[in-house]
Amino acid sequence: MMIASNFKTNYTRAKADSFIKSIQACMTRTKSEQEVRIFAPFTALNSFDEVKNLKVGAQNFYPVQNGSFTGEIGFEQLEEFGIETVLIGHSERRHILKESHAFIAQKYDFAKARDAEIIYCVGEPAEVRMQGIDAVMSYLWEQFEGIDIHYEKLIIAYEPVWAIGTGLSARLEDIEEVLERLREKLSKPLLYGGSVKVENIESILHVKECDGVLVGTASWNEEAFCEMIRIADSVKK
């Protein structure tokens, strides 16, 4: 399974380096078999390759190799650190930073053309959830418009917007229902994100179509993130 941490706009370079080295040690000590990803801020990127199943990824990028786009980070700047996994379509980029779906799809195609691993994020806002599962699925499938769902290195993260950062994850039956409906058309790994923490990760990972988690807040504590990885190692599916 995949256990991913999204640092969002947190951690200095020094603290991120210490965190990542701590997780490397944790995975070596526990002989973890999980695929672990840490999405650190750009300033914290470096080449961390001591543990084969731990990769540091980028939370964002501008869809060019390089060029004249003041303030942006292109793929050339990611490749310098051996970054080969990216987040695309996170709800905070869609709803806070107002990134259009067309631009998200453009980033997707760019990353795919560079053979990057992509964690593609989808999720509905509360007002859609209140209209019921059919409205939720209609909203989610719109987020796949123009997205190659057969791309070999695609991983999908279902993150209901209303569960992100609230401390209240979606109910297990809601997670199961959405993942099962996504599975009707998608063959790639399905992650859940939205207030995952030590206390609920085991039950979430036992959800039938759940192949892992994408964690924000609770993963910013290295002991907690190491414990989540250990719990994932204990889950037999």
Ligand X SMILES: O=C(CO)COP(=O)(O)O
Give the active site residues.
90, 159
Closest approach of ligand X to the CB of residue 48, in Å: 20
Shortest distance in whole angstroms from residue 157 CB to ligand X: 7
Question: C-beta of 147: minimal distance to ligand X in Å?
Answer: 18
Smallest separation, CB 6 to ligand X (Å): 4
Q: Which residue is nearest to ligand X (CB)?
A: 216
Q: How far apart are CA 114 and CA 112, in angstroms?
A: 5
Angle at 230 between CA 53 and CA 60, to 5 degrees: 45
Contact indicator for 88, 143 with CB cutoff of 8 Å: no
Q: Taking the complex as a whole, how short is the minimal distance between the CB of residue 193 and ligand X, in angstroms?
A: 4
Residue number with CB closer to ligand X (144 or 158): 158
Task: Considering the complex, state which of residue 175 and residue 214 has its C-beta at the smaller distance from ligand X.
Answer: 214
Contact criterion met (CB below 8 Å) for 196 and 172: no
Which residue from 202, 208, 207 is spatially nearest to 235, judged by alpha carbons? 202
How big is the chain, counted in residues?
A: 237
Instruction: Select 113 or 168, whichever has its Cβ closest to ligand X.
Output: 168
Residues making contact with ligand X (CB under 6 A):
6, 90, 159, 164-165, 193-196, 214-218
Residue with tokens 């991913």: 4
Specify the residue, 83 or 201, whose C-beta has the smaller distance to ligand X: 201
Backbone angles phi, psi at 145, to 5 degrees: -55, 125
Q: Which is nearer to ligand X, 78 or 214 (CB)?
A: 214
